[in-house]
Amino acid sequence: MTIPSNSVGKDIVYIRELEVQTIIGIYDWERKIKQTVSIDIEMETDIRAAALSDDIKDALNYKEIGKRIISFVEASEFQLVETMAEKISEIVLDEFPVPWLRLRVSKPGALRGSKDVGLVIERSNHV
C-alpha cells in the first residue's frame, strides 16, 4: 500500500477527558486540596509514515504525551487555568513533533450549576 505524499488534509491525534488531580485555584481553600482538572488535546501530525510501517516509532505516541502531561500537572500548583494551559502547550510543542495543537483545560464543578468551566487555546510552532 502506498499513500500519496501530496495528500491534502490535516491529521489529528487526540486525547479526551484526561483527568488529573492537582492544586489549582486562587482561593485559600483551593491551595490546600487537590482538585480534578480535565484535559482534551488535539495535536496535528502526519500519520502517513505510521500507516505505512504499522510501527509506533513512526507515530505520534499519545501515551508518552499523556504521561508527560499527567506528570507535569500533578506536580504543578498554578493559581490560574490559563497558566496551566499555556505551560502544557509549551511542553507538547517543545518536546514532541507537534506543529499545532488545540488544548482544552477545565475544572469540573468549579461553578455551581455548571458541569465545568475552562478554556480552549490553539498554539503552533508555525512562524
Instruction: Output the CA angle 79-82-88, nearest 5 degrees.
Output: 100
pLDDT band at 4 (very low <50, low <70, confident <90, very high): low
Active centre residues (catalytic): 107
User: In order of start, what are the domains of the chain with their CATH numbers?
Assistant: 11-124 (3.30.1130.10)
As a whole number, the mean pLDDT across the chain is 92
* Residue scoring higher pLDDT (113 or 68): 68
Query: 49-76: per-residue pLDDT in tens?
Result: 999 999 999 999 999 999 999 999 999 9
Supply the pTM of this predicted model.
0.89
Cβ-Cβ contacts under 8 Å for 67 (sequence gap 6 or more): none
pLDDT band at 113 (very low <50, low <70, confident <90, very high): confident
Q: Are 108 and 38 in contact (CB under 8 A)?
A: yes
